[in-house]
Amino acid sequence: MNGSTGSKWIRRPGGCAVALAAAGLLIAGCAQQPAAPPSPAAPPAPAQAAAAPAKPAATAPTPSQTIDPGILETLDRMGSYLRTLQSFELKTNSDSDVILDNDQMAQFSRWATMKVRRPNGLRADIRDDSGDRKILYFNGKTATLFDPDNKFYATVDAPPTLAEMAKVLSERYGIELPVADLFDWDSNRIDAKAIKSADFLGYAEVDGSMTTHFALRQEGVDWQIWVERGASPLPRKLVITSTTEAARPQHSVLLRWNLAPKFGAGDFEFKPPPGAHRIVIRTTEGKVEAPGN
Protein backbone atom coordinates (compact mmCIF):
# COMPACT_ATOMS: atom_id res chain seq x y z
CA MET A 1 0.00 0.00 0.00
CA ASN A 2 2.99 2.18 -0.25
CA GLY A 3 2.07 5.19 -2.22
CA SER A 4 4.48 6.92 -4.40
CA THR A 5 4.09 10.25 -2.75
CA GLY A 6 7.23 10.01 -0.72
CA SER A 7 7.56 12.03 2.38
CA LYS A 8 6.13 15.42 2.87
CA TRP A 9 6.54 17.62 5.82
CA ILE A 10 3.55 19.57 6.87
CA ARG A 11 3.91 21.97 9.69
CA ARG A 12 1.00 21.73 12.02
CA PRO A 13 -0.03 24.70 14.03
CA GLY A 14 2.17 24.79 17.07
CA GLY A 15 5.24 24.17 15.02
CA CYS A 16 5.22 20.44 15.19
CA ALA A 17 6.41 19.06 11.91
CA VAL A 18 4.82 15.84 10.94
CA ALA A 19 6.15 13.56 8.32
CA LEU A 20 3.67 12.22 5.91
CA ALA A 21 5.28 8.95 5.33
CA ALA A 22 4.68 6.97 2.21
CA ALA A 23 1.05 6.14 2.29
CA GLY A 24 -0.29 3.17 4.00
CA LEU A 25 1.92 2.26 6.90
CA LEU A 26 1.63 5.35 8.94
CA ILE A 27 -2.07 5.55 8.44
CA ALA A 28 -2.57 1.91 9.24
CA GLY A 29 -0.57 2.60 12.34
CA CYS A 30 -2.93 5.37 13.24
CA ALA A 31 -5.80 3.05 13.41
CA GLN A 32 -4.43 0.10 15.23
CA GLN A 33 -2.16 1.54 17.80
CA PRO A 34 -3.60 2.36 21.15
CA ALA A 35 -3.96 6.01 21.75
CA ALA A 36 -0.66 7.37 22.77
CA PRO A 37 0.26 11.01 22.73
CA PRO A 38 2.65 11.62 19.92
CA SER A 39 6.05 12.90 20.77
CA PRO A 40 6.37 16.15 18.96
CA ALA A 41 10.09 15.82 18.68
CA ALA A 42 10.26 12.48 16.98
CA PRO A 43 8.71 12.09 13.59
CA PRO A 44 6.34 9.17 13.73
CA ALA A 45 7.49 7.89 10.39
CA PRO A 46 7.84 4.16 10.39
CA ALA A 47 11.04 2.61 9.17
CA GLN A 48 9.47 1.98 5.85
CA ALA A 49 9.39 5.61 4.83
CA ALA A 50 11.19 5.51 1.57
CA ALA A 51 12.31 9.07 1.16
CA ALA A 52 14.63 10.70 3.61
CA PRO A 53 12.50 12.78 5.92
CA ALA A 54 15.13 15.41 6.23
CA LYS A 55 13.60 18.02 3.98
CA PRO A 56 13.34 21.17 5.98
CA ALA A 57 9.93 22.68 6.20
CA ALA A 58 11.30 25.88 4.83
CA THR A 59 11.02 24.49 1.33
CA ALA A 60 7.30 25.04 1.36
CA PRO A 61 5.53 21.70 0.99
CA THR A 62 3.57 21.47 -2.17
CA PRO A 63 -0.15 21.10 -1.71
CA SER A 64 -1.15 17.52 -1.95
CA GLN A 65 -2.88 16.63 -5.14
CA THR A 66 -2.91 12.98 -4.37
CA ILE A 67 -5.07 10.80 -2.25
CA ASP A 68 -3.44 8.96 0.56
CA PRO A 69 -5.10 5.56 0.31
CA GLY A 70 -4.60 5.00 4.00
CA ILE A 71 -7.02 7.80 4.66
CA LEU A 72 -9.73 6.24 2.57
CA GLU A 73 -9.11 2.99 4.33
CA THR A 74 -9.47 4.63 7.71
CA LEU A 75 -12.66 6.35 6.67
CA ASP A 76 -14.09 3.09 5.38
CA ARG A 77 -13.19 1.47 8.66
CA MET A 78 -14.94 4.31 10.39
CA GLY A 79 -18.03 3.66 8.28
CA SER A 80 -17.93 -0.04 8.96
CA TYR A 81 -17.61 0.60 12.64
CA LEU A 82 -20.53 3.00 12.62
CA ARG A 83 -22.57 0.33 10.89
CA THR A 84 -21.99 -2.04 13.79
CA LEU A 85 -23.56 0.36 16.25
CA GLN A 86 -27.14 -0.74 16.64
CA SER A 87 -28.03 2.01 19.04
CA PHE A 88 -26.27 5.17 19.92
CA GLU A 89 -26.85 8.62 21.22
CA LEU A 90 -24.82 11.35 19.64
CA LYS A 91 -24.53 14.84 21.07
CA THR A 92 -23.28 17.48 18.73
CA ASN A 93 -22.28 21.08 19.03
CA SER A 94 -22.16 22.93 15.74
CA ASP A 95 -20.90 26.33 14.76
CA SER A 96 -21.89 27.53 11.33
CA ASP A 97 -20.86 30.53 9.33
CA VAL A 98 -23.43 32.66 7.68
CA ILE A 99 -22.29 35.17 5.11
CA LEU A 100 -23.53 38.68 5.54
CA ASP A 101 -24.09 40.95 2.63
CA ASN A 102 -20.75 42.65 3.14
CA ASP A 103 -19.07 39.26 2.92
CA GLN A 104 -18.43 39.29 6.60
CA MET A 105 -18.98 36.07 8.46
CA ALA A 106 -21.27 35.64 11.40
CA GLN A 107 -21.24 32.48 13.40
CA PHE A 108 -24.28 30.78 14.84
CA SER A 109 -24.37 27.74 17.06
CA ARG A 110 -26.64 24.90 17.81
CA TRP A 111 -26.73 21.76 19.86
CA ALA A 112 -28.36 18.48 19.12
CA THR A 113 -28.94 15.15 20.77
CA MET A 114 -29.57 12.48 18.22
CA LYS A 115 -30.80 9.05 19.24
CA VAL A 116 -30.50 6.32 16.68
CA ARG A 117 -31.89 2.83 16.90
CA ARG A 118 -31.22 0.88 13.77
CA PRO A 119 -32.53 0.17 11.35
CA ASN A 120 -35.07 2.92 11.21
CA GLY A 121 -35.44 4.81 14.46
CA LEU A 122 -34.17 8.32 14.82
CA ARG A 123 -34.97 11.19 17.10
CA ALA A 124 -33.09 14.44 17.10
CA ASP A 125 -33.64 17.17 19.68
CA ILE A 126 -32.14 20.34 18.38
CA ARG A 127 -31.68 23.67 20.01
CA ASP A 128 -30.04 26.71 18.52
CA ASP A 129 -28.44 29.69 20.12
CA SER A 130 -31.55 31.77 19.78
CA GLY A 131 -33.38 29.32 21.98
CA ASP A 132 -35.38 27.80 19.19
CA ARG A 133 -36.07 24.10 19.62
CA LYS A 134 -37.12 21.46 17.19
CA ILE A 135 -37.58 17.72 17.48
CA LEU A 136 -37.32 15.45 14.49
CA TYR A 137 -38.80 11.93 14.60
CA PHE A 138 -38.32 9.11 12.15
CA ASN A 139 -39.81 5.65 12.47
CA GLY A 140 -39.14 4.04 9.13
CA LYS A 141 -42.37 5.30 7.61
CA THR A 142 -42.73 8.99 8.32
CA ALA A 143 -40.63 11.86 9.48
CA THR A 144 -42.13 14.51 11.74
CA LEU A 145 -40.74 17.88 12.62
CA PHE A 146 -42.17 19.32 15.80
CA ASP A 147 -41.67 22.66 17.47
CA PRO A 148 -42.35 22.22 21.16
CA ASP A 149 -42.83 25.94 21.67
CA ASN A 150 -45.42 26.84 19.06
CA LYS A 151 -46.57 23.21 18.88
CA PHE A 152 -46.66 23.15 15.11
CA TYR A 153 -45.65 19.94 13.47
CA ALA A 154 -45.37 18.60 9.97
CA THR A 155 -45.30 14.96 9.01
CA VAL A 156 -44.04 13.65 5.70
CA ASP A 157 -43.69 10.22 4.17
CA ALA A 158 -40.16 8.94 4.44
CA PRO A 159 -38.21 6.07 2.93
CA PRO A 160 -37.44 3.15 5.22
CA THR A 161 -33.73 3.65 5.81
CA LEU A 162 -31.81 6.31 7.70
CA ALA A 163 -29.60 7.19 4.74
CA GLU A 164 -32.47 7.59 2.31
CA MET A 165 -34.48 9.53 4.84
CA ALA A 166 -31.58 11.92 5.40
CA LYS A 167 -31.35 12.44 1.66
CA VAL A 168 -35.06 13.10 1.23
CA LEU A 169 -35.17 15.52 4.12
CA SER A 170 -32.24 17.39 2.67
CA GLU A 171 -33.17 17.42 -0.99
CA ARG A 172 -36.92 17.57 -0.86
CA TYR A 173 -37.48 19.66 2.23
CA GLY A 174 -34.23 21.45 2.91
CA ILE A 175 -33.89 19.94 6.36
CA GLU A 176 -30.42 18.86 7.35
CA LEU A 177 -29.80 16.43 10.14
CA PRO A 178 -27.16 17.44 12.65
CA VAL A 179 -24.48 15.28 11.03
CA ALA A 180 -26.11 14.56 7.74
CA ASP A 181 -23.10 12.67 6.40
CA LEU A 182 -23.22 10.09 9.15
CA PHE A 183 -25.65 7.85 7.34
CA ASP A 184 -23.73 8.08 4.11
CA TRP A 185 -20.53 7.08 5.79
CA ASP A 186 -22.04 4.08 7.42
CA SER A 187 -23.87 2.88 4.36
CA ASN A 188 -21.43 3.54 1.56
CA ARG A 189 -17.80 3.16 1.02
CA ILE A 190 -16.13 6.49 0.65
CA ASP A 191 -16.30 7.45 -3.00
CA ALA A 192 -12.68 7.81 -3.95
CA LYS A 193 -13.63 9.30 -7.29
CA ALA A 194 -15.18 12.27 -5.58
CA ILE A 195 -12.07 13.06 -3.59
CA LYS A 196 -9.47 15.28 -5.20
CA SER A 197 -6.92 15.13 -2.45
CA ALA A 198 -6.57 13.81 1.05
CA ASP A 199 -3.87 14.55 3.55
CA PHE A 200 -3.02 13.25 6.95
CA LEU A 201 -2.26 16.17 9.21
CA GLY A 202 -1.11 14.26 12.24
CA TYR A 203 -2.55 13.20 15.52
CA ALA A 204 -4.71 15.56 17.42
CA GLU A 205 -6.55 15.53 20.66
CA VAL A 206 -10.24 16.24 20.44
CA ASP A 207 -12.33 16.37 23.56
CA GLY A 208 -9.81 14.27 25.46
CA SER A 209 -9.44 11.54 22.85
CA MET A 210 -6.62 11.05 20.42
CA THR A 211 -7.62 11.24 16.82
CA THR A 212 -6.13 11.22 13.35
CA HIS A 213 -6.72 14.48 11.57
CA PHE A 214 -7.44 14.32 7.85
CA ALA A 215 -7.98 17.09 5.37
CA LEU A 216 -9.82 16.26 2.17
CA ARG A 217 -10.80 18.18 -0.84
CA GLN A 218 -13.77 17.58 -3.09
CA GLU A 219 -15.66 19.59 -5.61
CA GLY A 220 -17.04 22.62 -3.86
CA VAL A 221 -15.96 21.59 -0.40
CA ASP A 222 -12.87 21.13 1.71
CA TRP A 223 -13.47 19.06 4.74
CA GLN A 224 -11.57 17.91 7.74
CA ILE A 225 -12.36 15.01 9.96
CA TRP A 226 -10.85 13.83 13.18
CA VAL A 227 -11.24 10.09 13.61
CA GLU A 228 -10.70 8.56 17.02
CA ARG A 229 -7.68 6.30 17.27
CA GLY A 230 -7.91 2.85 18.71
CA ALA A 231 -10.74 0.39 18.86
CA SER A 232 -13.54 2.82 18.12
CA PRO A 233 -12.84 4.81 14.98
CA LEU A 234 -15.58 7.33 15.55
CA PRO A 235 -15.74 10.75 13.97
CA ARG A 236 -15.09 13.23 16.76
CA LYS A 237 -14.94 16.48 14.87
CA LEU A 238 -15.87 17.64 11.45
CA VAL A 239 -15.14 20.91 9.71
CA ILE A 240 -16.67 21.64 6.34
CA THR A 241 -15.47 24.61 4.32
CA SER A 242 -17.52 25.70 1.36
CA THR A 243 -15.15 26.57 -1.43
CA THR A 244 -17.75 27.72 -3.90
CA GLU A 245 -18.00 30.88 -1.86
CA ALA A 246 -15.07 33.24 -1.94
CA ALA A 247 -15.72 34.00 1.69
CA ARG A 248 -15.16 30.29 2.44
CA PRO A 249 -17.68 29.87 5.20
CA GLN A 250 -17.17 27.04 7.60
CA HIS A 251 -19.35 24.65 9.48
CA SER A 252 -17.81 22.75 12.33
CA VAL A 253 -19.25 20.02 14.50
CA LEU A 254 -18.00 18.45 17.69
CA LEU A 255 -19.33 14.94 18.26
CA ARG A 256 -19.77 13.16 21.58
CA TRP A 257 -20.83 9.58 21.54
CA ASN A 258 -22.77 7.40 23.94
CA LEU A 259 -22.66 3.86 22.66
CA ALA A 260 -24.77 2.42 25.47
CA PRO A 261 -27.77 4.69 25.48
CA LYS A 262 -31.01 4.12 27.31
CA PHE A 263 -34.01 4.88 25.19
CA GLY A 264 -37.54 5.50 26.40
CA ALA A 265 -40.38 3.47 24.98
CA GLY A 266 -41.88 6.41 23.13
CA ASP A 267 -38.69 8.14 22.09
CA PHE A 268 -39.06 7.54 18.37
CA GLU A 269 -42.80 7.96 17.97
CA PHE A 270 -44.30 11.39 17.84
CA LYS A 271 -47.54 11.81 19.73
CA PRO A 272 -49.07 15.25 19.26
CA PRO A 273 -49.49 16.84 22.67
CA PRO A 274 -52.61 18.80 23.53
CA GLY A 275 -52.69 22.02 21.56
CA ALA A 276 -50.48 20.75 18.78
CA HIS A 277 -51.38 21.68 15.23
CA ARG A 278 -50.33 19.86 12.14
CA ILE A 279 -49.35 22.34 9.45
CA VAL A 280 -48.30 22.16 5.85
CA ILE A 281 -44.73 21.95 4.68
CA ARG A 282 -43.10 23.49 1.65
CA THR A 283 -40.69 21.59 -0.49
CA THR A 284 -37.50 23.15 -1.72
CA GLU A 285 -39.25 23.58 -5.05
CA GLY A 286 -41.90 25.67 -3.40
CA LYS A 287 -44.65 23.09 -3.50
CA VAL A 288 -46.87 23.00 -0.47
CA GLU A 289 -47.68 19.60 0.92
CA ALA A 290 -50.77 19.48 3.04
CA PRO A 291 -51.85 16.75 5.40
CA GLY A 292 -53.82 14.11 3.64
CA ASN A 293 -52.17 14.75 0.29
Member of 189, 245, 258, 272 binding other proteins (CB under 8 A): 245
Cis status, amide bond into 119, omega within 30 of 0: yes
Smallest distance, other proteins to C-beta of residue 96, A: 5
User: Is residue 114 a contact point for other proteins (CB under 8 A)?
Assistant: no
User: Is residue 101 a contact point for other proteins (CB under 8 A)?
Assistant: yes
User: Is residue 167 a contact point for other proteins (CB under 8 A)?
Assistant: yes
User: Is residue 161 a contact point for other proteins (CB under 8 A)?
Assistant: no
User: Is residue 218 a contact point for other proteins (CB under 8 A)?
Assistant: yes
Q: Footprint of other proteins on residues 120-149 (CB under 8 A)? A: 124, 126, 128-132, 134, 136, 145, 147
Smallest distance, other proteins to C-beta of residue 280, A: 5
Smallest distance, other proteins to C-beta of residue 144, A: 10
Residues 6+ apart with CB under 8 A from 65: 196, 197
- The 10 Å CB-count burial string (b at 16+, else e) for 137-172 is bbbbeebbbbeeeeeebbbbebbebbbebbebbeeb
User: Is residue 241 a contact point for other proteins (CB under 8 A)?
Assistant: yes
User: Is residue 76 a contact point for other proteins (CB under 8 A)?
Assistant: no
User: CA 64 to CA 62: how far, in whole Å?
Assistant: 6
The three-state secondary structure class of 17 is strand
Tell me which residue of 292, 245, 271, 264 sits closest to 96, measured CA to CA. Answer: 245
Site string for other proteins, 195-214 (x = CB under 8 A): --------------------
Residues 6+ apart with CB under 8 A from 279: 152, 153, 154
State the Cα angle at 35 between 33 and 39, rounded to 5°: 95
State the Cα angle at 203 between 191 and 217, rounded to 5°: 30
Residues that bind other proteins (CB under 8 A): 94, 96-102, 104, 106, 108, 110, 112, 124, 126, 128-132, 134, 136, 145, 147, 150, 152, 154, 166-167, 170-171, 173-178, 180-181, 184, 218, 220-221, 223, 240-242, 244-245, 247, 249-251, 277-282, 284-286, 288, 290-292
